[in-house]
Structure 1
Amino acid sequence: MKSKFEAADIGVIGLGVMGKNLALNIVDNGFSVAAFDLDKAKVEAAEHQAATEVAGREQRLFGVESLAEILASVKAPRVFLLSVPAGRAVDSICDALIEAGAIAEDIVIDTGNSLWTDTVAREKHYQGKLTFFSSAVSGGEVGARFGPSLMPSGDKAAWDRIAPIFTAIAAKVDNETGKPLERHQPGDVIEQGEPCTAYIGPAGSGHYVKMVHNGIEYADMQLICETFHFMQTGLGMSTVQIAEVFERWNKGVLNSYLIEISAEVLRQVDPQTEKPLVEIILDKAGQKGTGLWTAVSSLQLGCPASTIAEAVYARSMSTQKDLRLQLASSLKGPAIAPVSAEEQQQTIDALEAALYCAKVTAYAQGFQMIAMQAKEQHWELDYAAIARIWRAGCIIRAGFLSTISDAFEANDNLSNLLLAEGFASKLNELQGQWRQVVAQAVIKGIPVPCISSALAYFDSLRCEVLPANLLQGQRDFFGSHTFERVDAPKGEFYHITWSESPRKLVKIN
């Protein structure tokens, strides 16, 4: 089939919010794009926006009318970026491309929030038909347009072909400070700095890393919300006062995109009522599944990630609005007494410490999950690089990710961030304030499931002996599940003949 344009650097299939913005980002960085969507109006809108934004410059985004035409419009070796909903749509497009003439050397990049195991299966399924590759994308529509964090994985040779485009469109950070280099206008290009993308590893690893990123995001957001709730309910602070606290925190160790936007949300006034917008927003939180996937994966791995799981549960609890309204009148909590200005400031300082400690703990859980899954899947991952590519472009971008990267650089075998001297000493230093916040929340009746679960995780890890010895005794009593002994070699199992008299100790192996 003869195409009206035969030299595009890449084809973009799916021109929803993310696909269109990624296409425009690619164009900004000097590459040409052949664009296709089943909805012709989206193709026309993308063409029009590209022409408007690059007025006076060469047009580099061209719409096509079919998959056959997009195959004819991209120069070999052909690369296609797929931005469609996860699931059947991915397979449908891949199958249709093959039917239209795609070959094994053609690279199709899935940029949706696909489940990582689906990505592994797809790479195997399409082997010899096309080169299925994947890249998780973080940063939402603004990130897609002006610089996302990209987590590519799959065939290494495919990555080598894709890398020039991805490193160009990715968010950038300053090489010396580690701070994001922002661009906000169409046509802007940032060539200096370190790109927030790197080859993650074999098929599925990029989507797994992004899944855990989203789990950490759930936890980070919930931790901020619990802190807000404590200040509002326990300290009687207004939304503007809390916004001022968040703005101050954003200049210190808690510097992050989520703290920054939280302050902005709290300052927003509802146009209709002129009340703080946050007081008008219904307290029912949505979720798209990646946090749930992270919690499920932690259970499957046997990797404790209680703070991430509690963040998922907190969203589920928020949806129980009708039940909460019913029980609010019958389940009575403690009266919350006013606090002095001095007590308020002391508590705010303690909340800052607790938020930092809990945040570090959530990251520790996430990175341990990635490490355990990598070991199980035989992936060789660069954890320092993963932390670095999260420093800009993604939702959990934060100043202390540079510290996390440094910790992994200093110790290749770091199995948990809390083993890093810098984090261990800081949590030891701040744990008193962390405990104060949890204790005060319990006394005041303010739910802080993530902050408290993070503290329980910290306390559990520092315990040489946990009550699992009693638990294993219970299991042996009712189910003959056996147990190991502290005074015997690992791997030797024993059982007590509980139903006999006298009871005997039996070595099982």
Structure 2
Amino acid sequence: MKDIGLIGLGVMGRNLSLNIGNKGFSVAVFNMTSQKTKDFIENEVGKQDITGYYDIKSFVESLKKPRKILLMVKAGKPVDSVIEKLIPYLDEGDLIMDGGNTYYRDTTRRINELNEKKILYLGIGISGGEEGALNGPSLMPGGSKKAYDLVKDILIKIAAETESGPCCTYIGNDSAGHFVKMIHNGIEYGIMQAMSETYDILGKVLKLSADEIGDIFEKWNEGELNSFLMEISYKIMRHKDEETGKPTVELILDKAGQKGTGKWTVQTSIDMGIPAVSLNAALEGRVLSYFKEERLNLSKKVAKDYPKDLYDKDKIIGDLENSLLFSNLILFSQGLWVMSEGSKVNNFDIDISEVLKIWKGGCIIRSKMLDFMRAVIDEDKENVNLLNNKRVLEFLMTRLDSIKYITNIARNFYIPTLVHNSALDYFFSMIEGNLPANFIQAQRDFFGAHTYNRIDKGGIIFHTKWE
């Protein structure tokens, strides 16, 4: 009898199966397309105790009770479809886990539906891509503690490991795991957009080659910007297309795809009334990139008057590094604020410090900055957006002139810097005691009698007859 079953043999599913097998657990695998199962068993499975099954019934019957089944299928209706096929063969106390990028509210619904059948359910956020799945991802399981305890030993052993411990922890109640993975991806969108804007400035302002930009990224990766995304970026910049010999990155069409998690993060922040303007800007950056034809047409109609002055190369590179650090901290700040509010609203009981710890290894947004933020959170767990901390404010203020300089240069060269600009404006908004919202309230009261409060008469609502 097998320790665990896995359904869905795409790249992530195959690699997770091998990872589980490599850690000494026996695995039953199943895929809706039988040929995929056959190819996987014959071509990729070695000494691991992994067996392929070609119908749901025999797959389920091969598992030790209580059964533990991990779904690695496309989010949405495919998950519901697989669950429907499994239910007739499951017993009370069996466990289904969803390891896909599922919208957290769908996970809540499934938990409630399966709870009526006394079947356990975990929503597990998995980050790390195909390499992480094979060698150790960051795992974010959410659901009942009883469900987590059933599979805890397996999850901890297959997760990445850092000096702080395994990159897996019980995230919290209900759909907390998929909620945290959603926020992770929203932050990921932001960091990637900020890095792309940095790459754009290095190329268009300083006229650096792909190799030269790769050298800068590698140097940055040795310092405070050390991260998985920076590491892969300098490797990307140096990769050459075999056919043309040109940098591969320069041959890629500038239309960025997305699978929905960034959009869900922004929608959730809006629903909860938490400002996440830079996360939103990153999402809009991907949307804007998709309108390639419109952008090309307009680019031919607008004459651009570029600066004639020569810029100090070393200064721009140094200020770009600081601007990117500033932007990244703001992106994390906004994401953690949404996470904290979501935990309260949904009774997830998320320990943000623990989340930052398990993001240190395996996951896409692992970075040196996580230790700094974790220390800040541990000092004051109520500091939900990090900004109410002396060290955080010093970090941002020492880089403020850099990001102001960089965003001004970008404007002079007609380079859109959505994340860098929005990070700066967000910070300005958060440190401004008097925003012009009083003017908006006056307008609202004028045309709609929406009323307002006064600064000199607290607790009383006013309406003015403006004409």
TM-score (structure 1 length as normaliser): 0.89
Superposed, 1:6-405 pairs within 5 Å as 7-49=1-43, 51-52=45-46, 54=47, 59-99=48-88, 101-129=89-117, 130-175=119-164, 194-337=165-308, 339=310, 343-405=312-374
CA distance in 2, matches of 1:230, 1:338: 16
**Amino acid across the alignment from 1:497:** K
CA distance in 1, matches of 2:44, 2:3: 16
Please report how far the alpha carbon of residue 485 of structure 1 lies from its aligned counterpart in structure 2 after TM superposition. 1.6
Deviations along 1:430-454, whole A, 9 cap, x unmatched? 1011111111111222111110000
CA distance in 1, matches of 2:113, 2:458: 45
Please report how far the alpha carbon of residue 212 of structure 1 lies from its aligned counterpart in structure 2 after TM superposition. 0.9
**Amino acid across the alignment from 1:239:** A
Give the secondary-structure state (helix, strand or coil) at the position aligned to 1:236.
coil
1:487 matched to 2:459? The reply is no
Please report how far the alpha carbon of residue 121 of structure 1 lies from its aligned counterpart in structure 2 after TM superposition. 0.8
Please report how far the alpha carbon of residue 236 of structure 1 lies from its aligned counterpart in structure 2 after TM superposition. 1.3
Contact 1:50–1:61, Cα closer than 8 Å, also in 2: no
1:471 matched to 2:440? The reply is yes
Contact 2:175–2:348, Cα closer than 8 Å, also in 1: no
Please report how far the alpha carbon of residue 197 of structure 1 lies from its aligned counterpart in structure 2 after TM superposition. 0.9
1:416 matched to 2:394? The reply is no
Please report how far the alpha carbon of residue 144 of structure 1 lies from its aligned counterpart in structure 2 after TM superposition. 0.8
Moved over 4 A (4+): none
Please report how far the alpha carbon of residue 338 of structure 1 lies from its aligned counterpart in structure 2 after TM superposition. 6.0
Please report how far the alpha carbon of residue 68 of structure 1 lies from its aligned counterpart in structure 2 after TM superposition. 1.1
Moved more, 346-355 or 274-283: 274-283
Contact 1:9–1:79, Cα closer than 8 Å, also in 2: yes
CA distance in 2, matches of 1:383, 1:431: 27
1:498 matched to 2:451? The reply is no
Contact 2:2–2:27, Cα closer than 8 Å, also in 1: yes
1:185 aligns with none
CA distance in 2, matches of 1:13, 1:220: 32
CA distance in 1, matches of 2:348, 2:464: 41
Contact 1:218–1:311, Cα closer than 8 Å, also in 2: yes
TM-score (structure 2 length as normaliser): 0.97
Please report how far the alpha carbon of residue 291 of structure 1 lies from its aligned counterpart in structure 2 after TM superposition. 0.8
Please report how far the alpha carbon of residue 25 of structure 1 lies from its aligned counterpart in structure 2 after TM superposition. 0.5
CA distance in 2, matches of 1:237, 1:50: 42
Give the secondary-structure state (helix, strand or coil) at the position aligned to 1:397.
coil
**Amino acid across the alignment from 1:36:** F
CA distance in 1, matches of 2:327, 2:45: 47
Contact 2:70–2:99, Cα closer than 8 Å, also in 1: yes
CA distance in 1, matches of 2:209, 2:286: 23
Deviations along 1:414-436, whole A, 9 cap, x unmatched? 12112222221111111011111
Give the secondary-structure state (helix, strand or coil) at the position aligned to 1:292.
helix
CA distance in 1, matches of 2:52, 2:418: 49
CA distance in 1, matches of 2:35, 2:86: 21
Moved more, 413-422 or 235-244: 413-422
CA distance in 1, matches of 2:202, 2:208: 6
Please report how far the alpha carbon of residue 498 of structure 1 lies from its aligned counterpart in structure 2 after TM superposition. 2.8
Give the secondary-structure state (helix, strand or coil) at the position aligned to 1:418.
coil
Give the secondary-structure state (helix, strand or coil) at the position aligned to 2:28.
strand
**Amino acid across the alignment from 1:496:** T
How many residues were matched structurally? 466
CA distance in 1, matches of 2:3, 2:454: 64
Give the secondary-structure state (helix, strand or coil) at the position aligned to 1:474.
helix
Contact 1:234–1:336, Cα closer than 8 Å, also in 2: no
Contact 2:174–2:348, Cα closer than 8 Å, also in 1: no
Aligned CA RMSD, in angstroms, stands at: 1.3
In structure 1, the gaps of 5 or more residues are 1-6, 176-193, 500-509
2:424 aligns with 455
Give the secondary-structure state (helix, strand or coil) at the position aligned to 2:20.
helix
In structure 2, the gaps of 5 or more residues are none
